Amino acid sequence: MKESMYKRMKDLPSAHLLGTGTPMCAGCGGLEALHEIYDVLGSRTVFVNAAGCMTLLATYPFTPFRGSWLYTAMASAPAGAQGIRDALDILLQRRSITKEEDLDVVVLTGDGAAYGMGLSATSGAIERGLDFLYICYDNEGYGNTGQQYSGATPHGARTATSRGPSGFAGFKKDLFSIWAAHKPTYVATVIGAEPLDLARKVEKAKQLDGPRLIIALAPCPTGWDYEPRHTADIGKLAVQTGIWPLKEYVDGTVTHTRMPRPRRPVAEYLKMQGRFAHLFLDQRGKHMLAEIQARIDRYWDTVEA
C-alpha cells in the first residue's frame, strides 16, 4: 500500500466537493464526516443510500453530490450496491463501458440501518466479497424520526423511547467486531472531529478492493441535546475519553490508530450532552457513571495489555 498523502492537517483537501445548503441540522456530525469523506473519495462515486437523515440530501430536483446517487430502502442498500457493482463489472467485461466510466460504489446509511434492519444485507454483501465501501454515520439512535433508541444507542442515554430515570437499559452493539468477524478487507472507526485520522482511513479504504466498512460516530445536536457549536468538541472528547476508540481492522488484526493517554474522564464527554444529564443528578446517576467509566477502562486495559 502506498504511503498516506495525508501527513499533516494542511495536507487535507482544500477544495470541498459536497455542496452546501442541505437540509441536515446545524452542527450535524454526520454531515461533517461526510464532507471530509467525500473530499477524499472524489466524485467518481455512486452513493447507495438507505432510509435515514441523509436520505434528504438528494431531494428532487437538487443534490449536493457531484457524483451519482441511488436511494433504495432502509434494509437493502448493500444489495443495491451489489446490483450496481455487478452491472458495472458486466459492462466492463464485455467492453460496453471503458474503465474511465467505472464508479466506486459507496453505501451510505445511518446506524438504524447499519446496526439493525440492514445488518443481514450487509452480512450477505461481505460474505459475497462485494467490492464496495460502506459508510455508516452513527448518531446512536433513529435520528430522522426523533431519536428513538437503536442498536447503536449507548447505555444510559435518554432517547424518545427511553425517557425513564435510567435512560436506555441496553448496551451499544459492537458493530465493528460484528463486521470484522466476517473477515472483510477493511473495517475502521472514524469521527469528523479527527479529520486527519479519517482521511488516512478513507484513503486506505479507497485503495483496497473487496468489502470495506467505516463507522463514523456522528455527534447529533438535536438527538444528543447540545448546542450545535459543540459538535467538534464533543467529537474530540469522544476520542480523548476513550468512549469512541479509533481503530482499524486489516488482515485479521485490529490496530488502534489513537491511544488516548492519559484518558480524560468520560464524565467530561457525557456532561456536555442533555441525553446524559440524569447521570449528574443523584446517587443512581453517580453509580451509572462509575459503571460506564469502568466499562471504558476495562476496554482499554485489554487493548493495552
Residues near another protein (CB under 8 A): 43-44, 46, 48, 55-56, 58-61, 63, 65-73, 75-84, 86-91, 94, 97, 100-103, 120-121, 123-124, 127-128
Cβ 51 to another protein, closest distance in Å? 10
Cβ 47 to another protein, closest distance in Å? 9
β-sheet bridge partners, residue 45? 104
The DSSP output letter for 53 is G
The DSSP output letter for 194 is -
Task: State the Cα–Cα distance between residues 185 and 206, nearest whole angstrom.
Answer: 11
Cβ 21 to another protein, closest distance in Å? 14
Closest among 78, 58, 83, 82 to 68, alpha carbons compared: 58
Of residues 58 and 270, the one with the C-beta less far from another protein: 58
Task: State the Cα–Cα distance between residues 198 and 196, nearest whole angstrom.
Answer: 5
3-state helix, strand, coil in the chain (%, to 5): 45, 15, 40
For residue 179, the one-letter residue type is W
Query: HSE on the CB side for 114, CA within 13 Å?
Result: 31
Backbone angles phi and psi of 84, in degrees to 5: -70, -45
Of residues 86 and 203, the one with the C-beta less far from another protein: 86
Of residues 97 and 277, the one with the C-beta less far from another protein: 97
Task: State the Cα–Cα distance between residues 159 and 209, nearest whole angstrom.
Answer: 38
Cβ 266 to another protein, closest distance in Å? 37
User: Are the CB atoms for 199 and 36 separated by under 8 Å?
Assistant: yes
Of residues 128 and 287, the one with the C-beta less far from another protein: 128
Of residues 30 and 285, the one with the C-beta less far from another protein: 30
Contact partners, residue 13, CB within 8 Å, separation at least 6: 39, 40, 199
Cβ 220 to another protein, closest distance in Å? 20
Cβ 236 to another protein, closest distance in Å? 33
Of residues 65 and 244, the one with the C-beta less far from another protein: 65
Cβ 137 to another protein, closest distance in Å? 17
Of residues 103 and 272, the one with the C-beta less far from another protein: 103
Cβ 126 to another protein, closest distance in Å? 11
User: Are the CB atoms for 86 and 140 separated by under 8 Å?
Assistant: no
User: Are the CB atoms for 167 and 278 separated by under 8 Å?
Assistant: yes
Instruction: Tell me the CA distances in angstroms from 89 to 92, 111, 156, one per residue in order.
Output: 5, 29, 46
Of residues 52 and 154, the one with the C-beta less far from another protein: 52
